[in-house]
Amino acid sequence: MVKGNAIAGQSGGPTSVINSSLAGIVAGAKEFDGIENMFGMRYGIEGFMAEDIIDLGAEEPAVIEGLKTTPSSALGSCRHKLTEEDLPKILELLEKYNIRYIFLIGGNDTMDTIHRIEAYAGQKGYDLTGIGIPKTVDNDLYGTDHTPGFASAGRYMALSVAQAGLLSNDMKKVDQFVVFQCIGREAGWLVGATATGKRTPADAPHIMCFPERAFDKDAFLAEVKKCYDDYGFVSVVCGEGITYADGSPVSASQTKDKFSNVEFGAMGGTSAAMAIHRMIADEFGFRGEFQITESLPMCAADRAVQLDIDEAFMCGQKAVELASQGKGGVMVTLERVGEASDYECTTSTAPLGDVAVRAKPMPDEYINDKGNFITKKFLAYVRPLIGDLPEYTKLNYKKVKP
């Protein structure tokens, strides 16, 4: 066992429980004699290269405990893509601060970063143990049953769609449809999670558009018409990265730059929700709304799931335990045991090299044959994570007779 200092960092978009993983790392470091000092890199690996390093061990215990229920990324984040030119600088700083253990909390790109840093250090003869801790609300990391952050984001979206569904039903004489857009470029886990608040066929959502399935405009509009005829309003949930069969994004603008690249967002593009909104309005003349939550599900601590907080902390602690055993080059994973009705979860590992190059779309068995809604198998998977949702009262609408 090599004695030295440890450093932790956070990368990419946050979650409402990412800081709980950080708290788990700090707590675990205090129990491991091999770690002399516990540091933190401000703004991820980019901040580390600028030597923006803090002493996490100097923080009061109450502050570390408070991280469990604090949203966003306490250390600050970045989306820096590691280059070959960065590696010598990083190794120089690891040696300068005698850092022998590095923990990064993040998604695929983060796992690639830590994998490359550890491999480079090994090539240069520097003893370094790198462990990844999973994080993403998209739930698309390979090798883990689910990711810390997904359950809380799923609950956020499920509550939002269920509550707005009540509003849409009551306001259907004014607005005949609503479109919700979920984050997740290539995976529809959050799209599917919005169905957990649905009690009856009339309840929102009615139609789902998954990145895993090609968007068929004609079939979609036919389903919109059917739902409107059945319920008097339509609730649609779509992934931000849905595409047509030819691979072109539904969100694509017709505006192109001087290089013939389609422009998006502020550059003249649109969003999937806005594009779908326009389709429905143009086809049927309906008035409707679209909701794009963007980063809100990533940082809504008021809707965080306690299970999610606890599992994120567990992942942080497990990372240090693995480091103490010299088991580097892996990401901590969550492994489900037992039946769905008796949920239990433990930890395992996946090689960093595998996680860095793979994504985890929703399995076919979780999406119905039409490709526009989830199956009972998905509900069995997701409900233990999100927990019970409130049931809302409905009037009986008993008409008064003259």
Q: What is the pLDDT of residues 340-385, one digit of tens each?
A: 568 899 999 999 989 987 889 999 999 999 999 999 999 999 999 9
> Are the C-beta atoms of 256 and 227 separated by less than 8 Å?
no
Write the DSSP string, 3-70.
-EEEEEEE-SS--TTHHHHHHHHHHHHTT-TTEEEEEEETTHHHHHHTT-EEEGGGS-HHHHHHGGG-
pLDDT at 267 over 90: no
What gap in Å lies between CA 375 and CA 158, rounded to an integer? 16
Q: What is the pLDDT of residues 45-74, one digit of tens each?
A: 999 999 999 999 999 999 999 999 999 999
Q: How confident is the model at residue 339 (pLDDT cuts 50, 70, 90)?
A: low
Residue 400, SS3 per DSSP: coil
What gap in Å lies between CA 13 and CA 155, rounded to an integer? 18
Q: Regarding beta strands 207-209 and 288-292, do their DSSP bridges make them parallel or antiparallel, or are they unpaired?
A: unpaired
Tokens 């200092």 appear where? 5
**Catalytic residue ranges:** 138
What is 4-148+302-357's CATH number, 3.40.50.450, 3.40.50.300, 3.20.20.10, 1.10.540.10? 3.40.50.450
Classify the C-alpha dihedral 316-317-322-325 as positive or negative.
positive
Q: How confident is the model at residue 264 (pLDDT cuts 50, 70, 90)?
A: very low
**Residue (of 52, 43, 47, 54) closest to 11 by Cα position:** 43
Q: What share of the chain has pLDDT > 70, as a percent?
A: 95
What gap in Å lies between CA 64 and CA 58, rounded to an integer? 10
Q: What is the pLDDT of residues 182-223, one digit of tens each?
A: 998 899 999 999 999 999 999 999 999 999 999 999 999 999
For residue 125 the two structure tokens come to 């003869």
| Average pLDDT of the segment spanning 382-400 | 92
For residue 268 the two structure tokens come to 């003249």
| Average pLDDT of the segment spanning 377-395 | 93
H-state helical runs in 67-216:
86-96, 108-123, 150-170, 189-193
| Average pLDDT of the segment spanning 69-87 | 92
**Residue 141 DSSP code:** B
H-state helical runs in 300-348:
306-324
Q: What share of the chain has pLDDT > 90, as a percent?
A: 82
Q: What is the pLDDT of residues 93-105, one digit of tens each?
A: 999 999 999 999 9
Domain residue ranges of the chain, discontinuous segments joined by +: 4-148+302-357, 151-297+362-386
Q: How confident is the model at residue 149 (pLDDT cuts 50, 70, 90)?
A: very high
What gap in Å lies between CA 196 and CA 63, rounded to an integer? 34
- In sequence order, the β-bridge partners of residue 132 are 104, 331
Task: Identify the CATH number of the domain defined by range 151-297+362-386.
Answer: 3.40.50.460
Question: Same CATH fold, 151-297+362-386 and 4-148+302-357?
Answer: yes
